[in-house]
Amino acid sequence: MNWLKMNEDLSFRKLIYGSKCPEKLNYDFNKNGELRHVDTDEPFIFNYNNSCDSNHKRYEVLGYLITQYVYELLERVCKLQKIYIPIDALENEPKSFFFMSENVLRNCTTLVVLLQDRGVFHAGQWDQKATIHEGLQHGTQIPFITMALQSSWEVIVLNPNDNFLELKTEEKSCCVLKSTHVIPKKYNSSPEEHTVYVWDHFISKSTAGKVAFIAHGYGGLVFINLLMQRTSEVMNKVYAVALVDSAHHTMHQTQGNCQVQEWIQKHCRKWVSNNKPLDKAVGHSMNKDCPTVSAGTEKCSLALSSSLQSIFKYLKNELKVSAKAHLIRSPIGTRSRKVIKKT
């Protein structure tokens, strides 16, 4: 990943200088995508002073700026489009958004959908804490997006945690906005609702014959919810699902639906933080859940980056299997022979 090129295209320092407390956030991402102090080259330090409240506000500001930075990387570096939803929202109605590559709805054969865990992080981030302490390579979805685009696949980056419009007042002591009231965003008030909406209006309408999901943490639970809500559509269109440290519960969520359980076992694979080598089996083969393998690390913040290559190898192999199965099912066309009747 050429993080140096990305830093040249868009500087994180510009966003910090645009905030109202740059002297407290003298940080930038280096050529390796790691957040470092500009003067000392030290990693981010939470305890800036003896005030817990001040340190927390400073951390909130940093998280907000990183979110904005990743949004710009998605648009300006990954060339994704920002799509506002609901599509029929009134002018003053609260809107959410997600990102997708330009050919999702046309000339698309394979589509990859990224679905993150529940939390404060938004589109383009797997984990904000990992972004701050481990770097862009580990905390953001950009390496996954880049690999998908390099494979000539289209991409949708969901934004399941953008559920409310927060009416805020600004505190004069720091550039932190204090929430006073929240308004749910129509059709996007929860990760489950957001995902179903994007499925109905975009993913299901994509020309892609093959769709894959990569879901992390609570995102796994959200995908199984989508599967139960749109069972036949999802089973027909989705060919593979990569779950990383997933919070889903197959037996509970599928409510004894054997057909769905069999589909999950066949089309899903789960990577979990574990001390075993990458891709080594974890758990019992008799488990009703999907096949489970090690992510190659015990550190949860590194599970996604550690399993990146393995996940895409899995998706590509499953794509070949799916294509081969389609050929076997398709009838072979033969020329009709005209029989000349003897007289």
Output the CA torsion 130→136→139→142 (10° steps).
Answer: 180
- Residue spans of the domains in the chain: they are 82-327
Q: Which residue carries 């089973």 as its tokens?
A: 235
**Three-point CA angle 145, 150, 156, nearest 5°:** 35
Give pTM, 2 decimals.
0.89
Residue 296 DSSP SS3: coil
Q: Which CATH superfamily is domain 82-327 in?
A: Alpha/Beta hydrolase fold, catalytic domain (3.40.50.1820)
Buried b / exposed e along 33-55 (16+ C-beta atoms within 10 A)? bbbbeeeeeeebeeeeeeeeeeb
Query: Left, alpha or beta for 255 (phi > 0: left; psi -120 to 50: alpha)?
Result: left
Nearest to 70 by CA among 22, 35, 109: 35
Q: What is the pLDDT along the chain (343 residues), one digit of tens a residue?
A: 666 566 566 678 777 766 665 456 888 899 899 999 988 999 988 877 666 777 888 888 899 999 999 999 999 999 999 999 999 999 889 999 999 999 999 999 999 999 999 998 899 999 999 999 999 999 999 999 999 999 999 999 999 999 998 876 555 444 555 556 789 999 999 999 999 999 999 999 999 999 999 999 999 999 999 999 999 999 999 999 999 999 999 999 999 899 999 999 999 999 999 999 999 999 865 557 899 999 999 999 999 999 999 999 999 999 998 887 766 765 544 444 444 444 4
CA distance 131 to 11: 16
CA distance 2 to 128: 20
For residue 61, the model assigns a pLDDT of 87
Are 174 and 135 in contact by the 8 Å Cβ rule? The answer is no
**Three-point CA angle 73, 76, 77, nearest 5°:** 65
For residue 268, the model assigns a pLDDT of 97
For residue 55, the model assigns a pLDDT of 82
- Phi/psi for 329 (5° steps) reads -75, -30
Are 158 and 123 in contact by the 8 Å Cβ rule? The answer is yes
The DSSP-derived string for 62-92 is HHHHHHHHHHHHHHHTS-PEEEEESTT--TT
For residue 337, the model assigns a pLDDT of 44
pLDDT, tens only, 177-216: 555 678 999 999 999 999 999 999 999 999 999 999 999 9
For residue 333, the model assigns a pLDDT of 43
